[in-house]
Amino acid sequence: MELNRFEQEWGKKYPLSVRTWRENWAELATFYRYPVEMRRVMYTTNIIEVYHWQLRKATKGKSIFPNDEALTKMLYLPTMEVTRKWTMRVANWGQILGQLVICFEGG
């Protein structure tokens, strides 16, 4: 019902978005089965984007690595630097943790 209402309100202005949502509704609807607090944690990607940016910055200009270990060593220091700054608490973490336990019981 909400998707139909969304289409009525925004379909003319954003037809491609509405079509994409309709075509992928089975996957998208899974996201909305989780509580709002859990969804907020799922779609907040700033931390991941900053981390990827740091890794790209570290490897910029270096297109070839002799082996996987060389690449791992190259990425180790930026990873340690970024994770040192990860001190921000997740709002409502206790509630979210309880919801995770309920949603993924035994898994």
pLDDT tens-place values along the chain, 107 residues long: 888 999 999 999 999 999 999 999 998 888 888 888 888 877 766 777 888 888 998 888 887 888 999 889 889 988 888 888 777 777 888 888 888 888 888 65
Percent of residues in the chain assigned helix, strand, coil, to nearest 5 = 70, 0, 30
CA 48, 53, 58, 59: dihedral to nearest 10 degrees? 100
Q: Which amino acid is at 86?
A: W
- DSSP structural state of residue 90: P
> In the chain, where are the structural domains located?
1-33, 35-107
Please give the model's pTM, rounded to 2 decimal places: 0.49
